[in-house]
Amino acid sequence: MTPIGIHDLELATAHHVLDLGLLATSNGTDPNKYRIGIGQDEMSMPAPDEDVVTMGASAALPLLQRHGADGIRTLLFATETGLDQSKAAGVWVHQLLGLPAHVRTVELKQACYSATAALQAAIGIIARSPEEKVLVIASDVARYELDSGGEPTQGAGAVAMLVSANPALVEIEPISGVHTADVDDFWRPNDSSTAVVDGALSVRAYLDALTGAWDDLAARGGPELAAIDRVVYHQPFTKMAKKAQQRLSQHAGSDLGEVGLQTGSVYNRRLGNTYTASLYASLAALLDHEDDLAGQRVGLFSYGSGSVSELLTGIVQPGYASADRARRVREALDARVPLDVAEYRQLHATELPSGVDVATPRVTKAPFRFAGIRGRARHYERTDGG
């Protein structure tokens, strides 16, 4: 069987950053409640001329620069930050990247899980046509109400993955475990720009979904936990990965300890919650910060509230390490423009007016920007950096 998996991946984030220590001081919270209690240091926040399209295109651009567009016949865009009830956000990305017309483009949605659905769909396409490649983009902005319990778990970011046969990074193994349950732990109504969340229920639903997916993986002949060297997790906040690893160890009867938790959380601690991109930002951090993973088996747990989950495994390939990618991510995170709390609150409260044309101010230094709305249609453009 031809190995299929992640050939290359890249991260992008937003223009602004808020230090959670400032947020804690402003609302009378001990900063350690954020830094230690939930395991978050910073959260990215988009400028007015940024959104999931611009971040997703910015993540994908370096992949095309390194590999070209030859063989790409599918673009799958995973997000829960819907911009249009009909048009896929990936169609705007397709135009910004200058992809050929013969590329099918689809948007997938199921809370934070849909990037994994996109990855599995990509694998299916390539199994049928091994000469093809699939561009998978996961891009999201996590928004909660000001002064709510979810506020310190906001964030923004995107991961783009090139999926192919004979991948250079991670071969995805064919057996996975899945679990679906109707749970009202988190959702975003059509009339709301922020999510509704029951935090305690969401944690329980996440952990129940993890054990349910593990049971399905085991029943289908997947590897024993002792044969999995690292596990990376969807991280609404990085402390959730620690809770998950403890639960999985107890449930499967094999102690994972804390191996991989610190390295797999390096980027998420600074990005905040990136919804669909979160799991794959964790995978990128693991690959970028551990140099002895070649030939090792990595578990990937994907969770989307509501809820759908999947636990899959992959084999890290020789030559996977990239000091350049680690440097690029670090530089992008360091280059974000800091906000004070007043600026953050003003930016958070700013929403596009409905039914009128609007031009956005030029702020982002990323390769692409959201230019505004004309005739109720969104418009995007390349910047000088593109």
Angle, helices 199-219 vs 239-252, to 10°: value is: 40
Instruction: Decide if 234 is catalytic.
Output: yes
CA neighbours closer than 13 Å in the CB half-sphere of residue 247: 21
Q: What is the residue whose two structure tokens read 């994972």?
A: 256
Checking 97-102 for CB contacts under 8 A at 24+ apart, the result is: 97/57, 97/60, 97/61, 97/64, 97/69, 99/69, 99/72, 99/75, 100/69, 102/73
Instruction: Decide if 132 is catalytic.
Output: no
Which member of 50, 80, 290, 310 is catalytic? 80
Which member of 7, 16, 234, 348 is catalytic? 234
Instruction: Decide if 80 is catalytic.
Output: yes
Which member of 42, 94, 112, 173 is catalytic? 112
Question: Cβ distance 119 to 149 under 8 Å?
Answer: no
Task: Tell me the catalytic residues.
Answer: 80, 112, 234
